Amino acid sequence: MSLPEKLSPEKLYKTCNPGEFSFRSTADLDGPIKATGQERAFEAIAFSMGIKHDGFNLFALGPNGTGKQTAIMQFLATIAPLAPVPSDWCYVNNFKQPRHPGALKLPPGKASTLSRDMEHLVEALLTVIPSAFSSEEYQVEEKNIREKFQEHQAEAFEDLEKKAAEQHIALIRTPAGFAFAPEKNGEVLKPEEFMSLNKKEREAIEKEITNLKSAMQLIMVQIPKWQRETQEKINELNRNIANFAVKPLMAELKNSYASLSEVIEYIETLENDIIENFDQFLEKEPDPREMLLGLPAGKFQQKGALLNRYRINVIVDNSKSEGAPVVYEDKPACQNLVGDIEHISQMGTLLTDFTLIKPGALHRANGGYLLIDARRLLLEPLAYEALKKALRTRQIRIESLAQLYSLVSTVSLEPEPIPLDIKVILIGERQLYYLLNVYDPDFSELFKVAADFEDELPFDGDGKLAYARIISAIAKTDKLRHFDRGAVARVIEQGSRITGDSTKLSAHLQSISDLVREADYYAASAKRKLVKAADVQKAIDARVLRSSRIQEKIREATLKNSILIDTESEKVGQINGLAIYSPGGQSFGHPGRITARIRLGKGEVIDIEREVEMGGPIHSKGVLILSGFLGARFAIDQPLSLSASLVFEQSYSGVEGDSASSAELYALLSALSGVHIRQWFAVTGSVNQFGQVQAIGGVNEKIEGFFDLCNARGLSGKQGVLIPASNVDNLMLRSDVVNAAKKGRFSIYPVTHIDEGIELLTGVPAGVLDKSGNYPPGTVNGMVVAKLKEMAEKIRKFTASSSNDED
């Protein structure tokens, strides 16, 4: 078997040649940013925004920082201005049912105009109506009506008084009312005089008085009727006067909105209410109780009440809009989405009216596009359900949450719902999208389109130019220094490093933006007009330094032998594996000692990490795969008569992943064969049951972690790392590692199979089956087979001896 050769330095890092750029600096770039590699997502966005059927709302999914929101906003900026401007909406008083305010739809810009017109109307009515009712004509007419009532009443009493006088009976007015008394010679008889009359005369007088009282009773019964008739005439007069005063103003208002039938209908209702309640426009004396409470009095209070009653509460004003609205709701609480009904406290009571209805994001975005962060939406109580309800019913219904859930006992409003025509765009992580798809049956009905943003861009001409334009846009937007070609090339290389793939560039624009801003800081410190590659490198180094405390502490403990890692000798059943640590989002690698021990047993490979519940399921799966490999290779003709134990030495926080399974297998093969493993190598890579070494993640950090330890102890030229051959394209190593490889002081070997790795690690051939099905003696596999046969024989003899002893 031919051994893999160490990788050339050119394979360890993919450079970006600044000379291939046609620009001198990013200041020369002014074209649009083209996010190459996101065609699938852009096609989904265009489809969702273009189709007009229900339920085709969009969910943009991908990692945070990949520019999902920016890309969507840029797309909407191209189509929204071409769309028609949506209608204005306002709430008005429902004079018949004040708890159910009405909604008015008006052409763009007309709602604010109507609101101003209504304010001017109230101002005019406050002058016109009092003037009409204080006019001489009104005063004369009202006086005549009241005088006619007085005359009618006086005539009735005069007739009764004449009739009584004919019978020598006087009509006397007293504080308690009217009374009748007999008179003689024009003088009212005294009681003793009346009693001195004979009985017949007294009875005659009493009879007449009774008749007169009956007549008086008839008059008193008629008086309320005459009063009602008088009041009806006065009311009729008031209506006529109010109508006369209001009609010209209302006619002028109707002419302004003649083409809007709903507005005309409202104005007519408004006109009737003003005429019926004209007295509210007449100046009233201030209420002393209100003055004691510090409330505004007189005209100010009167005007405020009228303005509220006849106010136009503009919910949506598109007077300054161009095209369809695009709204991003940063805090998608329920009331911020569908609107709210506010209350004011007055004398210990919560009050509300239609003027306290507040719009939500759905109102502002109606007829256009609404963007919401999905995670923030789900964190707000009831907000997601409110959004779904609005989309299902295609209308915005404002409900008081406090009233709905009986949090307060005040009477609230039930405004008329507003029709909804909108495209909603949720932005979130992939996991959130998949969870909603599985657990919410409504989600797939309302968000039928997914725009799946790529995590990576191709490392080609288009991708590099896209990076350059992004850097240029950031510099112009944030007023930073522009980058020269070398600095752009270094950012591109770091973008590839972030992905862990030399053929790709990171689409995580947040990381690139942060690097651009940090590099500008160091260029400013150096007083440079353009950002250089050295500034970018300094920003990268500074970022690593800021998060390297834990890494340095672990390396320091290793150098002091508090953590035992051997990088010089050769040992049986011991190997250096590579692990990744990610505290605070910054990853680094460090070697860890893996040991294997064997004994007589029944073919089990014991994962000590799993036994003590420190190993995760993926790591445990990797160890079980080792059992499959050992059984298939060495237990075809005989059972595996061993028990083996594997452990990560000095691990205290758990182990997960299968990237150490190849290292564990090498340690087992060494323990079985007795062949020493060279400790100046470290190993990473997973393995399958056929012994093939498979790709793993974090290969750059793992290599650099072992290199840092070896470099701290002194590079001897023989140290190196074995990696899966399928990870070669992922290599974007630090410059110091690449330089050490150029000088032959550190090596990286690509391995495709366990047999290649064990030969590199031991210097002993792995061994291949000959024609008779045996491994050659002196090879690793041959020594493993010999050891297993020896152990099987020992078990056989022990079993036989035990049986004889029992007999």
CATH number of the CATH domain containing 65: 3.40.50.300
User: Does any domain span residue 1?
Assistant: no
User: Does any domain span residue 555?
Assistant: no
702 an active-site residue? yes
Residue 692 DSSP symbol: B
What pLDDT was estimated at residue 291? 47
What pLDDT was estimated at residue 285? 57
Q: Which H, E and C letters describe 506-561, residue by residue?
A: ECCHHHHHHHHHHHHHHHHHCCCCCECHHHHHHHHHHHHHHCCHHHHHHHHHHHCC
> For residue range 721-754, what is the model confidence (pLDDT) as tens digits?
999 999 999 999 999 999 999 999 999 999 999 9
Would the CA dihedral through 521, 522, 525, 526 be positive or negative?
negative
User: Does any domain span residue 273?
Assistant: no
Residue where one domain finishes, among candidates 427, 445, 463: 445
Take residue 72 and report the two structure tokens written for it. 């969507």
Among the listed residues 538, 702, 747, 787, the single catalytic one is: 702
506 and 388 inside one domain: no
525 and 653 inside one domain: no
440 and 458 inside one domain: no
| Sequence-ordered list of residues with C-beta below 8 angstroms from that of 554, at least 6 positions apart, any chain | 563, 581, 590
Neighbour-count burial for 759-790, b at 16+ CB within 10 Å, e otherwise: bbbbebbbbeeeeeeebeeebbbbbbbebbee
Beta bridge partners of 218: none
Which portions of the chain are predicted below pLDDT 50?
Answer: 290-293, 295, 298, 300
370, 329 in Cβ contact below 8 A? yes
User: Taking each helix axis from N to C terminus, what angle separates 509-525 and 485-499, rounded to the nearest 10 degrees?
Assistant: 140
Take residue 227 and report the two structure tokens written for it. 């009063």
366 and 434 inside one domain: yes
658 and 784 inside one domain: yes
Residue 32 DSSP symbol: -
User: Does any domain span residue 19?
Assistant: yes
Cα 462 to Cα 493: distance, rounded to the nearest angstrom: 15
391 and 458 inside one domain: no
What pLDDT was estimated at residue 480? 94
Would the CA dihedral through 268, 269, 274, 276 be positive or negative?
positive
693 and 739 inside one domain: yes
Domain count, the chain: 3
Cα 222 to Cα 773: distance, rounded to the nearest angstrom: 133
User: Does any domain span residue 640?
Assistant: yes
373 and 518 inside one domain: no
Decide: helix, strand or coil at residue 383. helix
User: Does any domain span residue 158?
Assistant: no
What pLDDT was estimated at residue 638? 76
- H helices of 167-259, in order, are 191-196, 199-256
747 and 787 inside one domain: yes
639, 601 in Cβ contact below 8 A? no
What pLDDT was estimated at residue 32? 62
752 and 614 inside one domain: yes
Among the listed residues 25, 400, 659, 673, the single catalytic one is: 659
Domain, as residue range, for 467: 9-37+454-546
For residue 251, report the phi and psi dihedrals to the nearest 5 degrees: -65, -40
User: Does any domain span residue 462?
Assistant: yes
User: Does any domain span residue 554?
Assistant: no
Take residue 121 and report the two structure tokens written for it. 């109307």
636 and 496 inside one domain: no
What pLDDT was estimated at residue 295? 47
pTM: 0.80
Cα 622 to Cα 232: distance, rounded to the nearest angstrom: 99
CATH number of the CATH domain containing 481: 1.10.8.60
477 and 589 inside one domain: no
502 an active-site residue? no
